[in-house]
Structure 1
Amino acid sequence: MAGFWGRRKRDDEELQAQDADLARRAGKALVAADERIRLTTDELAFADAELGPNATADLREALEAVRTHLREAFHLHQLNHDEIPDTPEELRTRNARIVQLCEWAEDLLDDRTAALEEPIERARRAPAIIDGVRRDAARLRAQLPAARETVRRLAARYSESALAKIAANPAEADQLLGFAEHSAGVAERRREAGAREHANTALEAATESVRRAETLLDAIESFEIEALRAESTLTAIVEDSREDLTAALDEPASPAVTDAIVALHAALAALPPAGVNTDPFEHLTRLREANAALDAAVAAARERAARPVPPLEHVRHAIDDADRQLAVARDVIAGHRGWIGADARTRLAEAERVRVDLDRHLGTSAAAVTAIDEELREQAFEMARRAAFLASEALQLAQRDIDRSRPQDPNQWGGQPGWGGGRRGGNDLMGGILGGLVIGSILDGIFD
């Protein structure tokens, strides 16, 4: 007994220590959250001055929500220290809630102020960014004459459709640079006038315009390299296509292979002669597609040759076999209905569904078919085999159910004297009667 009270005393002392620690955490968290509200209020004022009220709306809403919930935390803390006695459980619950509210407040303000760090930093560096925009615009303007000359040089080699991707790039870049320079001036004037939000908007427009102008000019140089690469690849694809056409003549014939050969010949014939402005990207795409289509058609023809279409006689035999398997399975299940479980019945139902689909697939009764198109023959053969397999499975499962349902004692039914002084019929006969007749018919009559 002394040991029990000793352990209980230690448990009480440990719980009291935990409650005291929680109370200290609650007090510290409340002070830290209150100070954080004051600090964030000052940061909001600075952010408003730098970015404008629209950019700081999320932080303002978060600060208001934190103030509301922190009032609840202060109220809980007040309840812990008023003149009304509290139980340890009440104190523990309130302190845990105070810690939860304060941690939530700190996390929310961290998230919202972090989202403003980059915009504020950019606003602080606005004068340097404006100078950078003007330097970049001047640098890119110096590249415009070379870009226009490159486009003229490429026009002598490539078609208008090919150059449509970059022909207007120098003019568009020129317009963007003019807009960037104008926006930089607007940003500078609005900042001096104290309209920081408008200044930041104009500065973002200026930096984005410079970036887009540089991208357009870079695309001109990239086009020239990519066009030369496409011409080189096109030459290799032409040689490969001609070899594929020669090899395709030795492959198994099929309508798909013939159509693909014609399409590839047409793509090769569409290539312009030497000295004519061309679009290497368009011709490369068209030739690749035709070449890939021929490869796919040849692969399909090879697969067909390796797996020939079954003769019509084999299809008929498969259909007859399926019908026989279905008939046997139906008879066995119908004759032993009381013993047959769900698995056998399910296989039989699926076999019958596949058999019905076979007739629908052929457009008539499969048993009456005298000719089947080659395209349908293989599918019909597979469907007939599937129906036969399922019917066979149904029969095996039905036999398993019958075997399990028969009495294991040979004297249980067949070994006992009959009512007429003789012996009843064998197990198979009685099993069939009880399984099929008694359960399937007599009980139906009783409940009729």
Structure 2
Amino acid sequence: MAGFWGKKKRDEQELQAQDADLAKQAGTALVAADERMRVTADELAFADAELGHDATAGLRQALAAVREHLGEAFRLNQLNHDEIPDTAEELRTRNARIVQLCEWADDVLDEHTSALAEKIARARRAPEIIAGMRADAARLRTRIPHARDTIERLDTRYARDALAQVASNPAQAEQLLGFAEHSAGVAERRREAGQREQANLALEASTESVRRAATLLDAVETFEVEALRAESTLAAIVEDSREDLAVALKEPHTAGVATAITTLQTALSSLPPVGVNTDPFAQLSRLREANTGLDAAIAAARERAARPIPPLEHVHHAIDDADRQFAVARDVIAGHRGWIGADARTRLAEAERVRVDLDRFLGVPAATVTAIGEDHREQAMAMARRVAYLASEALQLAQRDIDSSRPQDSGQWGGDGWGGDGWGGGRRRGGGSDMMGGILGGLVIGSILDGIFD
């Protein structure tokens, strides 16, 4: 009898281990498929320019189908991480479906990109592309001093935690541009040597580096604008919160409502005084979470029909806040794609899906809507707050991934990185190589790096 129960326990442990491996496989497959889709979109742009729109119709249709099915995979992954408990069988079924969808996506893209590979290789105008890349890199280099000045100016106004999203962007952009220029030279030499495939890979790495450098520099300017918007939105949300408190104090004082009121009052009282460096994004997140908690408590305490209709301006504030939070999260993830895991990507994809649903619900783009019927305001506000909450989670998870992946010593391209025993010497060492190991995490060049740096 003891042997029977021992075997049953071993079987359960083995099944749990298999489920854990499947969950890990699903997350890895989701990241790889998402990256593959983004890289294929870039390849499609190249093919359109070189072969014409008609020649790439098959790849375009395949990419649209893959994007739709990966949306399903992201939604399944979101269900695995929502607040509703799941059974082991439910998790197993979803993870298996995620893996299946990602493998299908990879196969479909392989089939269509392979069909165009030879034509693209013949038609690609490498010298023109390299010249354009170098011109773009030179233009972006002129923006780096301005970006550094912007960071210094923002440092006198905002807290260091708020600036952590963009503080290192100028340095990272400068390193990416250095890598892009070096890779362009490699592409030219490999093409002259007749090594077309490696030359094309080096050229793709070069153009991707320039694109990412531009994204990082754009994010600095976007941060300044979004921070000012956040401060403006914060004042409106503070007013909304006080009005919400006034309404909540008239509600039946259940334990849930009383706790939510205290939480929101604490969030309001914790706002720093004028003149203190602030983190408006964190303050908005705290107020938004407290507001959401108060809404949920009130909903549980009274009948829906008795709830007041949200004023139109409150709905507009919620939509503006959602768009701002989503824009910040999207820029951070786009600028550090190689470091971002499945969780942050899933939250961002879910936030984007809910945001699209909000536009469909209202019948027009939510950012431009001027009138919302009383019957629709509450749901519109709930959807907007859901977008903001998911985007905030995506930003927090992305920052966690960036912090865990960022090297301790950022290094520079100079010194051991470029001369001596560095890139020119045939082997990599020192801080420069450590930094580039992280920066190049999002570049799809894989094991050819050792061959590129010759």
Task: Report 1 or 2 for greater relative contact order, CA contacts < 8 Å, sequence distance ≥ 6.
Answer: 2
| Higher Rg | 1
TM-score (norm. length: structure 1) = 0.42
TM-score (norm. length: structure 2) = 0.41
